[in-house]
Amino acid sequence: MKIEQIELYHISMPLVAPFETSFGVETERHGIIAALRADGLTGYGECVASREPGYSYETASTAWHILTEFLAPRILGMEFASAGDVMARFAPVCGHAMAKAALEQAAWDVLAQAKNVSLSKLLGGTRPQVNVGVSVGIHPTAAALLDRIERYLADGYKRIKIKIKPGWDLDIVRQVRARWPKVWLQVDANSAYTLADQSLFEAMDEFKLLLIEQPLGHDDIYEHSLLQAHLATPLCLDESILSAAHARAALALKACRVINIKVGRVGGLAEARHIHNLCHKQNIPVWCGGMLETGIGRAANVAIASLPGFTLPGDISASARYYAEDLVEPPFALNADSTLSVPTGPGLGVRVIEARLKAATLRSERFG
């Protein structure tokens, strides 16, 4: 196939409610949508970098710079037979995984459409539905958090993840556990702690959490191995796994017993699958993380989460948990058994509503 045209859209989408983590509050999701045209087909990909560099050094604006100056010009006009051919052109560009992943994902979508198969099928997915949970941000009061969780449980989410930070941790977990002794519960610290907090995490063991996500440095693996050795609860790495090489190192060091895979963070669907395969061979459960994606990134997440090793519920909630109106039709809806159905149509299997994409666009640029 030949890449005839690339269009990039820097978007801003209002969230239905602010999302607060240990590193800040998001009220609007900024990101970039890439549309790649080849052989008369259009593939879409989403760059999940946010407005601020709290989770990653990448932001929507750095990704815009990298995509427009270095990535899109490198692949315009090229012939490709796999998403790997596209990624190979990006090898001279160091880092910027989220920027690269947007075009890689669009290439997968267009290839799947050309083969008339779903992205899930092209990736080797085996599940018709994927298990999902919901990630609940920091709230102004414990009462507000408990109320929010109660409503998500009523919606049908069977796994709850709560964000923690110093001052909003053990007591909050205790209150949630007291109210729902059996619910599948996990916490995400987004790197807000240090090894000096070991006793806090030891105290969490009694609450039977599914896992504790990224308690220590965003770029640390070794100190997580020291902490994991003291805990019954599995640690799960998110921020510090940027590649399959990092995953291999983390498992060898016993720095975690679970890995959160995000397509953007690791630089594309092929690298995400590579990490999945590596973990699957070692019986390490993985799950699909989320970045408050629009329906475009969500469709790619659902597809990768349909691979057999994604045994824990993903942060891939229904469209309505994030946006009043998603960019795709049909929007993703929660099934009664806390799953999302994997689209079966060609490629992403959802229709991008161009008028909504344009309405959300802050700036756009076309190549070719």
Question: Residue 107 corresponds to which tokens in the numbers above?
Answer: 């290439």
Least separation in angstroms between CB 163 and Mg ion: 8
Query: Should residue 338 be labelled a site residue for ligand OSB when binding is judged by CB under 6 A?
Result: no
Q: Choose one: 83-91, 152-160, 283-291, 327-335; the region binding ligand OSB (CB under 6 A).
A: 283-291
User: Which does residue 290 touch among Mg ion, ligand OSB, none (CB within 5 to 8 A, set by kind)?
Assistant: ligand OSB
From the candidates 121, 161, 163, 165, give the one annotated as an active-site residue: 163
Residue for token pair 């994991």: 228
Least separation in angstroms between CB 133 and ligand OSB: 9
Active site residue 115: no
Query: Should residue 292 be labelled a site residue for ligand OSB when binding is judged by CB under 6 A?
Result: yes
Tell me the residue nearest to Mg ion as measured from the CB.
238
Query: Should residue 293 be labelled a site residue for Mg ion when binding is judged by CB under 5 A?
Result: no
The DSSP H or E segment spanning 271 is: helix 269-281
Active site residue 262: yes
Least separation in angstroms between CB 178 and ligand OSB: 23
3-state secondary structure of 103: helix
Alpha-carbon dihedral of residues 35, 37, 38, 40, nearest 10 degrees? 130
CA atoms of 87 and 97, how far apart (whole Å): 10
Query: Should residue 294 be labelled a site residue for ligand OSB when binding is judged by CB under 6 A?
Result: no
Question: Residue 226 corresponds to which tokens in the numbers above?
Answer: 């020291």
Q: Hey, which residues does 351 pair with through a beta bridge?
A: 329
Q: Any residues with CB less than 8 A from the CB of 207 and at least 6 apart, and which?
A: 173, 174, 177, 185
Query: Should residue 188 be labelled a site residue for Mg ion when binding is judged by CB under 5 A?
Result: yes
Q: Any residues with CB less than 8 A from the CB of 174 and at least 6 apart, and which?
A: 207
Q: Please identify, using beta-carbon distances, which residue of 133 and 347 lies nearer to Mg ion.
A: 133
Give me the sign of the Cα torsion angle 221, 222, 227, 229.
positive
Question: Residue 60 corresponds to which tokens in the numbers above?
Answer: 């929507």
DSSP code at position 9: E
Least separation in angstroms between CB 89 and ligand OSB: 28
Q: Within 223-252, which residues bind Mg ion (CB under 5 A)? A: 238
Residue for token pair 């427009």: 68
Least separation in angstroms between CB 186 and ligand OSB: 11
Binding site residues, ligand OSB, CB under 6 A: 55, 135, 188, 190, 238, 289-292, 315, 317
Which residues are tagged catalytic?
Answer: 163, 262
Binding site residues, Mg ion, CB under 5 A: 188, 213, 238
